[in-house]
Structure 1
Amino acid sequence: MEIETDLRADAAVLRPAGRLTMVTAGELRARIDETVAGGHRVVVLDLADTTFMDSSGLGALVGGLRATRVAGGDLRLACAGAQVRTVLQLTTMDRVLRPYDTVEDALRAS
């Protein structure tokens, strides 16, 4: 999995590309942890290029949410495709990890 990082003054935008599965979930979780440790408490995941997510991927998102919240920030999702949104809805995690339509919407959220 490739993860592009865009560090901004008020937030970090991570763009994971590929499948978010048991094989790649640890890599995303580690990148979120590194980003938070680097001082970026708000992390937006741009999921436009994430083609598939399983329960391990969902676990990485929950772990990332926990890490950002412990630091006084937030984890926000943007541009999630149909499959990722379906996983979030079926698990009711869309109530906690609300997906935004665009990265800009996620950045503006409070």
Structure 2
Amino acid sequence: MKIERTPLGPDIILVRLEGRLDIAGAAAVEPEFKSSCEAARVLVVDLSNTPFMASIGIRLLLAGAKGLHRKGGTMGLFACDPQVEKVLRATGVDQLVGIHATRDEALAAAGVSPAT
């Protein structure tokens, strides 16, 4: 599992996750993912290269989203693999974290200009 972090503006971070978000994958990216959540007000997560997500991956996303919400921030997920999106919606993640088709939609839902 790989993680890539790209600042898009003040307190706005794009995180790209690549690989399986299973036990090993979540352990590999957790420190940097947590750091990204702590540094951001808006975090958008590209899941286009994440073909599998286990419950530990869902926990990682939800923990980050809850931390962001506590400080008035937000997280949006986008470009999910269809099977990953199905799991996220079936488990109710979409009730806490927006799931969007594109990065621009995720940013717009967070009140950020997509041109950022």
Q: Which stretch of structure 1 is more off in the superposition, 84-93 or 56-65?
A: 84-93
Shift of 1:28: 3.4
Q: How many residues align?
A: 109
- Give TM-score, length-normalised by structure 1: 0.89
Shift of 1:24: 1.8
SS in 1 for 2:63: helix
- The residue that corresponds to 2:80 in the other structure is 80
Is the CA contact (8 Å cut-off) linking 1:36 and 1:71 kept in structure 2?
no
Amino acid at match of 2:96: V
Q: Do the aligned partners of residues 26 and 64 (structure 1) sit closer, same or farther apart at CA in structure 2, a change above 3 Å counting?
A: farther
- The 1-side partners of 2:54 and 2:13 are apart by 24
- The 2-side partners of 1:28 and 1:68 are apart by 17
Q: Do the aligned partners of residues 80 and 65 (structure 1) sit closer, same or farther apart at CA in structure 2, a change above 3 Å counting?
A: same
Is the CA contact (8 Å cut-off) linking 1:5 and 1:15 kept in structure 2?
yes
Shift of 1:93: 1.8
Shift of 1:52: 0.5
Shift of 1:70: 1.9
SS in 1 for 2:20: strand
- The residue that corresponds to 1:99 in the other structure is 99
- The 1-side partners of 2:47 and 2:26 are apart by 13
SS in 1 for 2:97: coil
- The 2-side partners of 1:96 and 1:51 are apart by 21
Structure 2 portions without partners, runs of 5+: 111-116
- The residue that corresponds to 2:47 in the other structure is 47
Identity %: 30
Is the CA contact (8 Å cut-off) linking 2:75 and 2:98 kept in structure 1?
no
Shift of 1:29: 3.4
Q: Do the aligned partners of residues 42 and 27 (structure 1) sit closer, same or farther apart at CA in structure 2, a change above 3 Å counting?
A: farther
After TM superposition, the runs of 4+ consecutive aligned structure 1 residues lying more than 3 A away are 26-29
